[in-house]
Amino acid sequence: MNKKITVIGSLNYDVILKIPRLPFKGETLTANGAAFSAGGKGANQAVQAAKLKTPTYMVGCVGTDASADFLVNTAKEYGVNVDYIRKVPGSSGMGVINAVEDGSVYACIVRGANFEVTKEDVDNAMPILKESGVCIQHNEIPVEIIAYAIDKAKEAGCIVSFDPNLRPPLWKSLDEAKAEIEYGLSKCDILKISDNEVEFLFGTTDYDEGARLIREKYQIPLVLITLGKDGSRAYYKDLRVEVPGFVQEHKIEPTGAGDTFCANSLNYILEHGM
């Protein structure tokens, strides 16, 4: 397998508010502090893959605003190849994250330049997709581009990982949200999905059953379910592997933890095969 990773996806300027609890309706709550960082599911995953010393390409768009150079330069500093990040007029993507003291996270994103990624961007990336063993995708660029990019990545011989990033409250309806991710689910080789998303999709908190339903419906070879503090589970052929969570001695703000998990898992697959 080619030992490179290509990520096709989002770059966001993240504003992370550290708050003791969620504000009530109408309340102005004072945050304990704020952090400003380069984020976006795509960039987070690309940076983590590069940190593991895997040659990693990022395909995506940033705007022409103040955060654009910061986003590109941060990815580059971590070793990500940024030659396939295109600048488009307007704002870069943005994340506004409420990180509550108890470890829960409530996030919103602004699409910005992430929704300017085109089929041409994907076509331009074909040479690097052909050099890559794994292509990572997630639901933060236009859905028609995801579908196109999945097909192209498979044509190039990549294993395709998909993170559906289902966000019902931001959509008109849960059915519409489900329809948007259907193509990714039906075509990916690896699905990285959270416990909440399994619940949204299948109405169950029995994640073994959720995984069974996902695999039965979409024939996905490898399903990875993240379970927050309870760790994660992997389902592959007849195997079910459970990795329990563990408690850190010091608190770590968890934004992007799922992205880090995803990149680590895919890096392992890149090195050892499925």
Q: Give the phi and the psi of residue 206 in degrees, each rounded to 5.
A: -90, 100
44 in contact with ligand RIB (CB under 6 A): yes
Minimal CB distance to ligand RIB: which residue? 39
CB of 265 to ligand RIB, least distance (A): 15
Q: CA distances (Å), 101 to each of 9, 19, 90, 134, 273, in order?
A: 29, 6, 34, 35, 38
Q: Which is nearer to ligand RIB, 13 or 57 (CB)?
A: 13
Which DSSP category does 81 fall into? B
Q: Which of 4, 5, 7, 40 binds ligand RIB (CB under 6 A)?
A: 40
Report the alpha-carbon distance of residue 10 to residue 242 in Å, rounded: 29
Within 20-39, the residues that bind ligand RIB by CB under 6 A are 39
Those residues whose C-beta lies under 8 Å from the C-beta of residue 213, and which sit 6 or more positions away, are 202, 204
DSSP β-bridge partners for residue 241? 234
Q: Which is nearer to ligand RIB, 164 or 256 (CB)?
A: 256
Q: What angle do CA 179, 255, 11 make, to 5 degrees?
A: 65
197 in contact with ligand RIB (CB under 6 A): no
What is the residue whose two structure tokens read 């990795």? 243
139 in contact with ligand RIB (CB under 6 A): no
> What track of x and - describes contact with ligand RIB for positions 226 through 265 (by CB under 6 A)?
-----------------------------xx-xx------
Q: Which of 95, 133, 184, 210 binds ligand RIB (CB under 6 A)?
A: 95
Q: Which is nearer to ligand RIB, 116 or 259 (CB)?
A: 259
Q: What angle do CA 186, 191, 193 make, to 5 degrees?
A: 120
Q: Which is nearer to ligand RIB, 115 or 236 (CB)?
A: 115
Q: Which is nearer to ligand RIB, 106 or 268 (CB)?
A: 106
DSSP secondary structure of 139-181: SSS-HHHHHHHHHHHHHTT-EEEEE----GGGSS-HHHHHHHH
Residues that bind ligand RIB in the complex, under the rule CB under 6 A: 10, 12, 14, 39-41, 44, 95, 107, 109, 140, 255-256, 258-259
